[in-house]
Amino acid sequence: MKLEETQQSQEALKPLYIRISDQDNVAIVVNEGGLPAGAVFACGLTLQTAVPQGHKVALQAIPKDAPVIRYGVVIGHALSDVAAGTWINEAMLRMPQAPSLDDLPLATRQPGEAAPLTGLTFDGYRNADGTIGTRNILAISATVQCVTGVVEFAVRKIREELLPRYPNVDDVVYLEHGYGCGVAIDAPHAEIPIRTLRNLSLNPNFGGQILLVSLGCEKLQATKLFPAGSIPIAQDDPYLITLQDEENVGFASMIEAIMAKAERRLAQLNARKREPCPLSGLVVGVQCGGSDAFSGVTANPVVGYATDLLVRAGATVMFSEVTEVRDGIAQLTARAATPEIGQALLREMQWYDDYLKRGGADRSANTSPGNKRGGLSNIVEKAMGSIVKSGTSAISGVVAPGERVAGKGLNFLATPASDFICGTLQLAAGMNLHVFTTGRGTPYGLAAVPVIKVATRDSLARRWFDLMDLNAGRIATGQATIEQVGQELFDMMIAIASGRQQSCAEKLKLHNSLVLFNPAPVT
């Protein structure tokens, strides 16, 4: 990455751009508010048109049909001749075809050996199954959306009347969802939302003390959600409340049944204490949302740097979002630890290609209006910046949607790019800490896990000072390096995982609803 000027004091006076690769024939404008036509860069390039902040400027003349290159990758072809110094936006590009999934390199680019980081710990909650929680939460799940009103009422009463008696319990969380009935429960792919709900209940932050509320007549029966032997929940288990049971006479009786069983769970959770745990107990999900052209320059490289540190410490890191890695699939299969892992990546890409095709869509549907206003022309450009979150480590595992992550190191979890669905699937996979980068800004949060938000730009970090946890925009103006901010993020993750610090979203109690990925029919 080449920053034309590195002095913060000069930013307001001198036009600045960032070029990623020597092969690039475009760069992005750094200056807040953009630059007017006639602005002259230190290299002598004069802007022929005004260019907004984060948007691309042609560094040389680009003929019609010639490639436009950023990140050293062809992100499109010019629809007409482009003069040097001209603003290039999505309307001026023809997007390349998706790369073929055939004949790709498998496990051909292994990273060099990095010294393990040993002796690092965080203060967490040990679970009987060997996982470690970063929070101590009572989770209440449901078999069907029909019970939501009752459960939400009960949760309010639990928070007000019971939770203050159990100071070691952080919160009570309802795992609300829109599934359970009116669906083709045995159709192909219905297993995805079902196993997602099952594995959400097993998240390390819930300490194995799940409480399940059922209506009674729904298609997703408790025995289907939790088959015998999966976890100790069945129709006659004290973890289960069925609202249609005859002993529930009236609404108040339903609430009393939920609160009585919740109090037993709270007492068990309250007996737990934080203790030093190896950093290998962290399961970190990384994601981006409201991305802009700085995402792949500042915030995502910072996350990638921290990801490499976590892997060296023996932790588990999951990166996701199929459409946001699809155009860089050759980079990922080459980084697979084994050819079999490379083939697993290809299987997930092909499954998602087929899924989009059935819906009459393709990967181009990903890029949002906000992405484009932030300077991202298309999904190819967005994908190149998104992949950077994964760092440089070998990919040691591939996780299907709704499944739990099984191995340490860097894992790819196959999810849609939707923030809400991706976050839900990462929770189901076992995430106990979340890192989320944003350029346009989003108050995104999850109730079940701390979410650390990293801003890509100085201006976003200033405006949303109480919503952003870390400002990576300092990298764009030369105030800090990727390594410096990456170390800050790593240290912050340990502090927040240990409960010594809260993220902004956690302090404000901001959280999004869980959204299940359901590719099966709805009846």
3-state SS of 202-247 is CCHHHCCCCEEEECCCCCCCHHHHCCCCCCCCCCCCCCEEECCCCC
Neighbouring-strand partners of residue 19: 2
Residues whose CB is less than 8 angstroms from the CB of residue 168 and which lie 6 or more positions away in sequence, other chains included: 136, 269, 270, 271, 272, 273
SS3 of 522, please?
Answer: strand
Question: How far apart are the C-alpha atoms of 421 and 512, rounded to whole Å?
Answer: 10
Question: How far apart are the C-alpha atoms of 208 and 201, rounded to whole Å?
Answer: 8
Neighbouring-strand partners of residue 126: 132
Q: Answer for the pair 92, 77: CB distance below 8 angstroms, yes or no.
A: no
Q: What is the pLDDT of residue 155?
A: 98
> How many residues does the structure list for the chain?
523
> Which residues in the chain show pLDDT less than 50?
5-11, 234-235
Q: What is the pLDDT of residue 248?
A: 86
Q: Answer for the pair 40, 46: CB distance below 8 angstroms, yes or no.
A: yes
Indicate if the alpha-carbon torsion angle 386, 389, 392, 396 is positive or negative: negative
Cα-trace Rg, the chain: 24
Q: What pairing do the DSSP bridges indicate for beta strands 275-278 and 121-126? A: antiparallel
Crossing angle for the helix pair 251-270 and 148-157, to the nearest 10 degrees: 50
DSSP state of 195: H
Q: What is the pLDDT of residue 5?
A: 41
Q: Answer for the pair 356, 270: CB distance below 8 angstroms, yes or no.
A: no
Tokens of 227: 């088959």
Residue labelled with tokens 């319990």: 169
DSSP state of 389: G
Complete DSSP assignment for 309-336? HHHHTT-EEEE--GGGTGGGHHHHHHHB
CA atoms within 13 A on the CB side of 343: 3
Question: How far apart are the C-alpha atoms of 17 and 15, rounded to whole Å?
Answer: 7
SS3 of 381, please?
Answer: helix
SS3 of 180, please?
Answer: coil
Residues whose CB is less than 8 angstroms from the CB of residue 354 and which lie 6 or more positions away in sequence, other chains included: none
Q: What pairing do the DSSP bridges indicate for beta strands 132-133 and 121-126? A: antiparallel
Complete DSSP assignment for 127-172? -TTS-EESS-EEEEEESSGGGHHHHHHHHHHIIIIIGGG-TT--EE
111 exposure class (CB count in 10 Å sphere: 0-12, 13-18, 19+): middle
SS3 of 375, please?
Answer: coil
| Burial state string for 501-514 with b = 16 or more CB within 10 A and e = fewer than 16 | bebbbbeeebbbeb
Q: How many other C-beta atoms are found inside a 10 Å radius of the C-beta of residue 33?
A: 10
Residue labelled with tokens 């944003």: 438
Return the H-helix or E-strand segment holding 486: helix 482-497
Q: What is the pLDDT of residue 234?
A: 45
